[in-house]
Chain A
Amino acid sequence: QKEVEQDPGPLSVPEGAIVSLNCTYSNSAFQYFMWYRQYSRKGPELLMYTYSSGNKEDGRFTAQVDKSSKYISLFIRDSQPSDSATYLCAMRNAGGTSYGKLTFGQGTILTVHP
């Protein structure tokens, strides 16, 4: 069983829809949770960054972390065709030795059609 599970999709939605992306994990030591967006033939770029449990909002994007359920989510409101990309969840332990050493989900391919 993978430490981080993410439904690879693909997910296709109409413009303006609310998108929900999810990951589950098994390692209770994970403390930092991230969402990366990756456009085709490009490197991943950080979208959302949260520490421990709770919600974080940035424009149309909301990240939620539920450590008790080992479950994280990314919500995209009013989705746009420019949101079409692969979304990767990632997480790591606390502590300096874990700096940058992320465990990634498989990625979900999202297409937003006009």
Chain B
Amino acid sequence: DAGITQSPRYKITETGRQVTLMCHQTWSHSYMFWYRQDLGHGLRLIYYSAAADITDKGEVPDGYVVSRSKTENFPLTLESATRSQTSVYFCASAGQGGNAGELFFGEGSRLTVL
């Protein structure tokens, strides 16, 4: 199906474990983003990518790693999960056409760190 998909949708892990959240888009959008959503904070940008092999930090990058070897995939890795990383994570993409910089979001990955 066309669009942006995230997996897993739900994940429970323990403190100190490594977790990877996957994101795949079928629009060939150049730009991809990872946001986290927490009560009282809205959505905050973790990392973004302007193209394959180009990534940069957002507002809250500490404890996260990203890579983008292919245009369509943008995985987010928590190298050693902490309780403060319990959150809902949204992947988004943006293309060059339409509303400049309009974000298209996935359905989210709900992560709980025990």
Tell me if A104 and B100 are in contact (CB < 8 A). no
- Tell yes or no: A41 within 8 A of B by CB: yes
Rounded to whole Å, the gap between the CB of B96 and the closest CB of chain A is 9
Given contacts A99-B101, A100-B92, contact A107 B42 (CB under 8 A): yes
Given contacts A43-B105, A43-B106, A44-B90, contact A102 B45 (CB under 8 A): yes
Q: Mark A37-80, 1 if CB is under 8 A from B, else 0.
A: 00001111110010000000000000000000000000000000
State in angstroms the CA–CA spacing of A92 and B48 once bound together: 14
Rounded to whole Å, the gap between the CB of B56 and the closest CB of chain A is 9
Tell me if B42 and A99 are in contact (CB < 8 A). no
Rounded to whole Å, the gap between the CB of A61 and the closest CB of chain B is 15
Tell me if B108 and A41 are in contact (CB < 8 A). yes
Rounded to whole Å, the gap between the CB of A114 and the closest CB of chain B is 27
Closest-by-CB residue of A relative to B38 is A106
List residues of A (75-114) whose CB comes within 8 Å of B's CBs.
Answer: 88, 90, 92, 98-102, 104-107
Question: Which B residues have a C-beta under 8 Å from some C-beta of A?
Answer: 31, 33, 40-45, 48, 50, 58, 90, 92, 94, 99-108
